[in-house]
Chain A
Amino acid sequence: MMKHILSVLVENKPGVLSRVTGMISRRGFNIGSLTVAPTEDQNLSRMTIIVEADDVGFEQITKQLHKLVSVFKISDLTEDDAIERELVLFKVQCTPERRHEIIEIAGVFRANIVDVGKNTLTVEATGTESKLDALEDLFRSYGIRQLTRTGKIAMSRGHDQ
């Protein structure tokens, strides 16, 4: 089993998200994460889907998705040298005296402080999964009150065909 990144171009219409996710779950596969938003063409949306599957299973998912009339194009970005990004918001527990430590860590990771509370700091970070995992590990020792990750988005490098 390995993680696969699928970039799926679909009709921007109600119900299409259910068609795609329903197809994947119905065939017995689990969606790790999923993002969806309109593209440069308002009639189309792009979904980035992370699924765990072996090669045979992944081939089935791809072929079954291709059969959906609402699906235009599927790119497998797993093997590619694709650009992957994720955005995360951390609400980190921290007394006013230790704020500078968090700010320092954020600086190293090129993350931004987006809100300051009495005993919390909210940090916004983008990057690859491993970078965000490392940041999360560091913040855990302070205590993470709340955490939201967007799920991965991805794009192939250079000229798309």
Chain B
Amino acid sequence: MTNTDSHAASVAEKLARKQTAIEGKPFGMGSHSEYEGKTMTGAKAIIASLECEGVDTIFGYPGGQAIKIYDALYDSKRIHHVLARHEQGATHMADGYARATGKVGVVLVTSGPGATNTVTGIMTAYMDSVPLVVITGQVTRGVIGTDSFQESDIVGITMPIVKHSFLLQSTDDLTRTFREAFYIASTGRPGPVLIDIPSDLSGAQMVFHYPDSISIASYKPTYRGNARQVKQAAQLIMKAKRPLIYAGGGIVTSHACQELVELSETMDIPVVTSLMGKGAMPCSNKHNLGPVGMHGSKYANMAVMECDLLIAVGARFSDRVTGKVSEFAPHAQVIHIDIDPAEIGKIVNPTVPIVGDAKVVLASLNERLHKEGAKPVDDGWFAEVCSWRERWPFYTDDFASSVDYPDKIAPEVVLSMLSDKLDPDASIVTTEVGQHQMWAHQNIRREHARTFLSSGGAGTMGFGFPAAIGAKIGCPDDEVVCIAGDGSFQMNVQEMATAIQENVPVKVLIIDNSALGMVYQWQKLFYHERYSFTKLPDVPDFVKLADAYGWRGRRISRPEEVEDALDEMLASKEPYLLDVVIPTDQTVYPMVAPGAPIDDIIGALDVTLGGVRVSGKGFGKDGRPATAGGEKDGDE
């Protein structure tokens, strides 16, 4: 089987799992386990419930109120437990595992600080709609509310950042609670679900029965789009002269990539993607214009500004995409397709709203268009967009060789080269948050969904590295590379030990600028170069740190070292850290200032002006930018 075939097979498997989820059935044995009807402790029933859900990997950290559950876990032959070095790390690992595999990520931690350490991880998963089940130990029911040792009201603390949560009150509810948790986490718009379990319930005896189906009267996600609205959408598309698809994470979640490509190609409609939508459409597809918004390309942003119909699918009009909302897509009617009714009308009031699963809705839309005998839109529009792509590329080799400091490494060049070296069918890239994340978004090309994992909504520094470990555990045959910054990598650096203990050969590539680069960049552009607390000293020595943890490590700072170092990193069978030193004053371009309209772009490369960075709004007058030559890269 080729890698592409195996990707198709894995998509089929994910679709089957999606169907199981929607039907309310357990992902594993359900009631057909050896545990059915047996008397056991609550702790044993927790582990049995996970096994009945087909869980084979969990991420966690033990502690006093979870000790009974860990004792039961010790006997499990089906569940592999990954011991993190911090509960936040465990939660991001489960998140990375879930994003990469499409399965529900499971976290097990103790009460008090163990539980509160998962908060950032839960919030990260919530903002990006990732299915997690987080199991927290709790103090015994009798002492809840008395400020007992390691007590925290984790259900209360996490209320704003969970899809749902349970404080288990009786062993009678235990198995049903687990079924409901997996059902709620994995269906509709996915999200994290927390189960808080008082430790006396873990010790109590109960008879085990696992439910084979579930139905919750107050929870009924809508999957099929309203037929009348689908028809209206089709009519809008057929009338449009300059349509554009804005694809978000909902495409990835619902496995709608094929339907998206079909709509785009048969109708000749270009596509822009949000950060969460990266991988929704192959980067090699000529219709894919890639990143849009604050650090999107000028051509993608201009496409939004010029389109007369915007088809938003599984996207939520984040401020990082829209910039100034009132000037976003000013000439466009909007079709908004999303499974979450609350997203529709939240930021932008659509002409045609469609609540439903992106895959199901796009399939019916494609069918409708086919039935109506829809013709592709006039090819002048796509040709025009392509000419913008020629004029304002993200980056060019010519520009790379023309920068002011030829003996230093340009981050765009490293990441582009890494992208070329990775097998798109057998690799996953994760990122931390900051400049490196945006450079990766712009320069790493992906062909498949679930192969670019990044904290989008939450923007969590410290996410990417543990997520890479989780992704590698979920997809052991894929090469997994975390692109990090020297700031964010240090936020969960302790997980280097987990990679060794678990023998997970992840690769970490640090874009090391000795600064908190993104904030530094804002200070440079918008705060009069007042670099308030954003400079980092050159500690730790990351190569020595790698050595201390039993990793391989290497530091490079000259352009001629890049290729060899990348080859060495990718060839390594062990965890490998590559520290790539770049100048502090590198800026991610193009950029739209926060709150500005997205055609007011700083630092786009303009080939027609000889490949220099220019700034200004729209097309500028007479083919010239409004304010030419203002921003030039590397102007230390």
Contacts and interface: CB of A to CB of B under 8 A. Distances in A.
28 contacts: A11-B218, A15-B155, A15-B156, A15-B159, A15-B167, A18-B156, A18-B159, A19-B159, A22-B159, A22-B160, A23-B160, A59-B345, A60-B345, A60-B346, A63-B341, A63-B342, A63-B345, A64-B342, A66-B341, A66-B342, A69-B216, A69-B218, A69-B219, A70-B164, A70-B218, A71-B218, A72-B217, A72-B218
Interface residues of B, number: 18
Contact of A69 (B155, B159, B167, B184): B184
A92 to B, nearest CB: 40
B200 interface: no
B340 interface: yes
Nearest to A56: B345
A22 B153 CA distance: 15
Interface of A: 11, 14-15, 18-19, 22-23, 26, 56, 59-60, 63-64, 66-72
B158 to A, nearest CB: 11
Contacts of B341: 63, 66
A66 B216 CA distance: 13
A60 B347 CA distance: 10
Contacts of B160: 22-23, 26
Q: Is the interface of A mostly helix, strand, loop or mixed?
A: helix
B167 A14 contact: yes
Interface string B333-353: 000000011100110010000
Contacts of B342: 60, 63-64, 66-67
A14 B165 CA distance: 12
- In this complex, the member of B163, B184, B216, B342 whose beta carbon has the largest number of chain A beta carbons within 10 angstroms is B342
Interface of B: 155-156, 159-160, 163-164, 167, 184, 216-219, 340-342, 345-346, 349
B634 to A, nearest CB: 42
Given A15-B155, A18-B159, A69 B345 contact: no
A22 B216 CA distance: 22
Contacts of B346: 60
A156 B349 CA distance: 30
A59 B344 CA distance: 10
A67 B190 CA distance: 12
Given A18-B156, A19-B159, 13 more contacts: A15-B159, A15-B167, A56-B345, A56-B349, A60-B342, A63-B341, A63-B342, A66-B341, A67-B340, A67-B342, A69-B216, A69-B219, A71-B218
A63 B318 CA distance: 18
Nearest to B217: A72
A71 B340 CA distance: 16
A124 to B, nearest CB: 35
Contacts of A72: 217-218
A74 to B, nearest CB: 11
B413 to A, nearest CB: 44
Contacts of B163: 69
A71 B349 CA distance: 25
Contacts of A70: 164, 218
Contacts of B216: 69
B166 to A, nearest CB: 10
A70 B346 CA distance: 22
B133 to A, nearest CB: 14
Nearest to A63: B342
B542 to A, nearest CB: 39
Contacts of B219: 69
Nearest to A22: B159
Contacts of B159: 15, 18-19, 22
A61 B452 CA distance: 33
Across the A-B interface, give the 5 residue pairs with the lowest CB-CB distance, nearest first.
Answer: A63-B342, A69-B164, A72-B218, A69-B219, A64-B342
Contacts of A14: 167
A161 B346 CA distance: 28
A56 B342 CA distance: 11
Nearest to B193: A69
